[in-house]
Structure 1
Amino acid sequence: MIQLLFTLIFTEMLLIMIFSFKTPLRKLAILGLDRVKQGRGPVMIKTVAGTIFVVMLSSFYSMMDIQNRTVESGVVNPTDQVLMGNHLLEASLMGFSLFLALMIDRLHHYIRELRLLRKSMEAVRKDRISEEGQNPEDIKALEKESARIKAKIEKLKAQNEIKVKKAKVEAIQ
Structure 2
Amino acid sequence: MIQLLFLVLFAEAAVAFLMAIKVGPLRDLAMKGVDGMKTGRGPATVKTLACTMAVILASSVYSLLRIQGRGARLGGNVSPMDQVLWRTHLLEASLIGYTLFLAILIDRLHHYLKKLILLRKTVATSREETERLQNENRTLRESEAKASAELKKIQTELATFNEKLQKVKNESLEHERRAVIAEAHVAALQKQSEELLLEYDRVLEDNQVLQAQVLSCRE
**Aligned partners of 1:73, 1:32: CA distance in 2, in Å?**
51
5 Å matches for 1:80-159? 80-134=82-136
SS of the residue corresponding to residue 132 of structure 1 reads helix
Q: How far off is 1:69 after superposition? A: 1.4
> Which amino acid is the alignment partner of residue 53 of structure 1?
A
Q: Which residue of 1 aligns with 2:32?
A: 31
Q: How far off is 1:133 after superposition? A: 3.0
Q: Which residue of 1 aligns with 2:47?
A: 46
**Aligned partners of 1:21, 1:73: CA distance in 2, in Å?**
51
SS of the residue corresponding to residue 12 of structure 2 reads helix
Deviations 1:113-152 (A, max 9, x none): 11100101111111122223359xx9xxxxxxxxxxxxxx
Q: Which runs of 5+ in 1 are unaligned?
A: 139-173
Larger relative contact order (CA 8 Å, sep ≥ 6): 1
**Aligned partners of 1:76, 1:31: CA distance in 2, in Å?**
49
Bigger shift: residues 93-102 or 27-36: 27-36
Would you say how many aligned residue pairs link Structure 1 and Structure 2? 136
Q: How far off is 1:112 after superposition? A: 1.1
> Which amino acid is the alignment partner of residue 126 of structure 2?
V
Q: Which runs of 5+ in 2 are unaligned?
A: 140-219
**Aligned partners of 2:88, 2:69: CA distance in 1, in Å?**
17
Q: Quick one: percent identity of the two aligned structures? A: 49
| TM-score with structure 1 setting the length | 0.73
Q: Which residue of 1 aligns with 2:79?
A: 77
SS of the residue corresponding to residue 125 of structure 1 reads helix
**Aligned partners of 2:106, 2:8: CA distance in 1, in Å?**
13
**Aligned partners of 2:100, 2:20: CA distance in 1, in Å?**
19
Q: Which residue of 1 aligns with 2:19?
A: 19
User: What is the alpha-carbon root mean square deviation over aligned residues?
Assistant: 1.7
Look at both structures and tell me which one has the larger radius of gyration over its CA atoms. 2
Matched, 1:64 2:70: no
Q: How far off is 1:36 after superposition? A: 1.4
> Which amino acid is the alignment partner of residue 89 of structure 1?
L
Q: Which residue of 1 aligns with 2:203?
A: none
Bigger shift: residues 124-133 or 25-34: 124-133
> Which amino acid is the alignment partner of residue 10 of structure 2?
F
SS of the residue corresponding to residue 39 of structure 1 reads coil
**Aligned partners of 1:63, 1:101: CA distance in 2, in Å?**
24
Deviations 1:69-90 (A, max 9, x none): 1122223211111111111111
**Aligned partners of 2:52, 2:129: CA distance in 1, in Å?**
50
**Aligned partners of 2:135, 2:69: CA distance in 1, in Å?**
79
> Which amino acid is the alignment partner of residue 38 of structure 2?
K
| TM-score with structure 2 setting the length | 0.59
